[in-house]
């Protein structure tokens, strides 16, 4: 029974006390109802969804039921959902599409004599605008395109006052060759929520004033879904990335596309048997897609309850940390005045030499958390790029701990974790 898996690793604690998991921004366990849905689909929906006989039709129906649930979760229509292997594939699909869209637009512009993106003989390349705190699947993909001479990239810095990307800075970065703005909905380390709706409004206004290429709008909603309301249409994006393992679903994902191939362009990364309307071919992973759909159903039904619980636990955590360590000993790296942040994310630093985040976590007996993005966990020698880009001082970022709570995290868990941290700091203080 995994129902308590959410906040403990009992099977890992044969020799020591039960661990308390507070790294839900890294990944989440599958909800028990999702496990059940996946298990049933593995047993009963293994037929090829493209097969015309009844078992195949049943598998296809399961996929389309999941598509409907996922589309409802992000405020879209079922036809707007393209299933992928996860967030990295979805993000790569968006950047690939933007580059292709640029060249298609130039062909149209030249044919119709509308082209104004001449750059005085300079090589013309698609221009992408991202933020300086994006997940690596955006940052490194953009960097790769730039290194290959296939795109130019502007990485817009976040404000050190708000921790947010400033709308004006995004608009100021626009060039005649800009074809994509991609800004994450909320950051995985600070939890700060970005002004996506305002950015889309301004960029759409720019689009109205200029000839091709239309600037496409994308947000990576990986960290926001399941924690706060995410509505792609309300935000005004053309694309929105959905990542299952951040909201208690299997490790698959999806890309929301506003009218794929009609309103918004979408060019496949690879070719095959025609699945997903040729946008993302490959025989469908029915059980995992069924699980994604179930997890989306749970979000559609319980989001308000989830958000309230997460916020209560995160606030209690911050309250206890402040009470135990005192204002001169602890810094809250997620708290930027005036900026909203995710209800579950608490990024702190225990101030002082010898309290390096990784060392604190390695000494803790109960807490399982991280100093930042899991995909950076190998970078042991330097603090989080994201925190530094948000203006957190180097020595404070070096001591950062990212605590991200989940649906089953309790106040009792918080008490245990805060006591664990207090004892750990006492031990390290004696060692200093």
Ligand X SMILES: O=C(O)CC[SeH]
Task: Determine, following the binding rule CB under 6 A, whether residue 140 of this chain makes contact with ligand X.
Answer: no
Q: Which is nearer to ligand X, 241 or 408 (CB)?
A: 241
Binding-site size, ligand X (CB under 6 A): 6
Question: Which of 207, 256, 236 has its CA nearest to residue 105?
Answer: 207
- What 3-state DSSP class applies to 346? strand
Task: Determine, following the binding rule CB under 6 A, whether residue 28 of this chain makes contact with ligand X.
Answer: no
Q: Which is nearer to ligand X, 25 or 424 (CB)?
A: 25
Draw the binding track, 266-305, toward ligand X (x: CB under 6 A; -: no contact). Answer: ----------------------------------------
Q: Which is nearer to ligand X, 223 or 408 (CB)?
A: 223
Residue choice 25, 185, 190, 389 for contact with ligand X (CB under 6 A)? 25
Question: Which of 295, 231, 237, 305 has its CA nearest to residue 69?
Answer: 295
247 close to 299: Cβ distance less than 8 angstroms: yes
125 close to 98: Cβ distance less than 8 angstroms: no
Draw the binding track, 336-375, toward ligand X (x: CB under 6 A; -: no contact). Answer: -------------------------------------xxx
CA distance 140 to 271: 23
Draw the binding track, 177-216, toward ligand X (x: CB under 6 A; -: no contact). Answer: -----------x----------------------------
**E strands along 171-291, which residues?**
178-182, 216-220, 239-243, 253-257
User: Which of 200, 364, 375, 390 is an active site residue?
Assistant: 375
**Least distance between ligand X and beta carbon 297 (Å):** 23
Residue choice 20, 26, 330, 350 for contact with ligand X (CB under 6 A)? 26
**Least distance between ligand X and beta carbon 21 (Å):** 13
**Least distance between ligand X and beta carbon 133 (Å):** 11
Q: Which is nearer to ligand X, 138 or 212 (CB)?
A: 138
Q: Where are the alpha helices (DSSP H) in 135-187?
A: 136-147, 167-172
Among left, alpha and beta (phi > 0; psi -120 to 50; other), residue 259 is: left
Start-to-end Cα distance in the chain? 43
Q: Which is nearer to ligand X, 137 or 285 (CB)?
A: 137
Question: Which of 252, 217, 212, 209 has its CA nearest to residue 233?
Answer: 217
CA distance 199 to 65: 32
CA distance 284 to 47: 10
Assess whether 375 carries a catalytic annotation.
Answer: yes
Catalytic residues: 375
Q: Site residues (CB under 6 A) for ligand X?
A: 25-26, 188, 373-375
């Amino acid at each position: 029974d995994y129902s308590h898996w959410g906040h403990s690793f009992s099977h890992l604690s044969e020799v020591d006390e039960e661990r308390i998991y507070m790294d839900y921004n890294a990944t989440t366990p599958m909800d028990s109802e999702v496990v059940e849905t996946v298990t049933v689909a593995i047993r009963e929906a293994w037929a090829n969804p493209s097969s015309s006989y009844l078992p195949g039709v049943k598998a296809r129906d399961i996929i389309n039921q999941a598509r409907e649930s996922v589309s409802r979760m992000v405020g879209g229509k079922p036809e707007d959902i393209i299933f992928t292997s996860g967030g990295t594939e979805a993000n790569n699909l968006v950047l690939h599409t933007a580059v292709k869209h640029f060249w298609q637009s130039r062909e149209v512009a030249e044919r119709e004599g509308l082209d104004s993106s001449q750059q005085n003989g300079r090589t013309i390349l698609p221009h992408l605008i991202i933020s300086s705190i994006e997940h690596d699947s955006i940052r490194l993909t953009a960097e790769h395109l730039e290194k290959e001479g296939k795109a130019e990239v502007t990485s817009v810095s976040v404000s050190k006052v708000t921790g947010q990307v400033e709308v004006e800075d995004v608009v100021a970065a626009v060039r005649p060759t800009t074809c994509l703005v991609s800004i994450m909905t909320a950051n995985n380390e600070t939890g700060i929520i970005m002004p996506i709706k305002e950015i889309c409004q301004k960029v759409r206004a720019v689009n109205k004033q200029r000839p091709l290429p239309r600037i496409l709008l994308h947000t990576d909603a990986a960290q926001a879904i399941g924690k706060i309301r995410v509505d792609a249409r309300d935000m005004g994006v053309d694309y929105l990335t959905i990542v299952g393992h951040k909201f208690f679903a299997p490790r698959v994902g999806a890309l929301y596309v506003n009218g794929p191939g009609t309103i918004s362009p979408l060019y496949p990364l690879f070719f095959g048997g025609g699945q997903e309307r040729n946008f993302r071919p490959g025989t469908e992973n029915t059980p995992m897609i069924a699980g994604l759909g179930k997890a989306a159903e749970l979000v559609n039904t319980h989001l308000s309850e989830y958000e309230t619980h997460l916020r209560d636990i995160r606030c209690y955590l911050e309250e206890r940390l402040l009470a135990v360590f005192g204002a001169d000993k602890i810094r809250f790296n997620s708290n930027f005045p005036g900026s909203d942040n995710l209800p579950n994310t608490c990024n702190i630093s225990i101030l002082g030499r010898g309290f390096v985040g990784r060392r604190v976590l390695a000494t803790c007996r109960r807490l399982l958390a991280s100093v930042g993005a899991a995909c950076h966990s190998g970078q042991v020698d330097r603090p989080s790029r994201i925190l530094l880009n948000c203006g957190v001082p180097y020595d404070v970022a070096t001591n950062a701990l990212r605590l991200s709570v989940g649906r089953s995290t309790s106040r009792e868990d918080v008490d245990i974790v805060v006591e664990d941290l207090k004892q750990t700091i006492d031990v390290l203080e004696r060692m200093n």
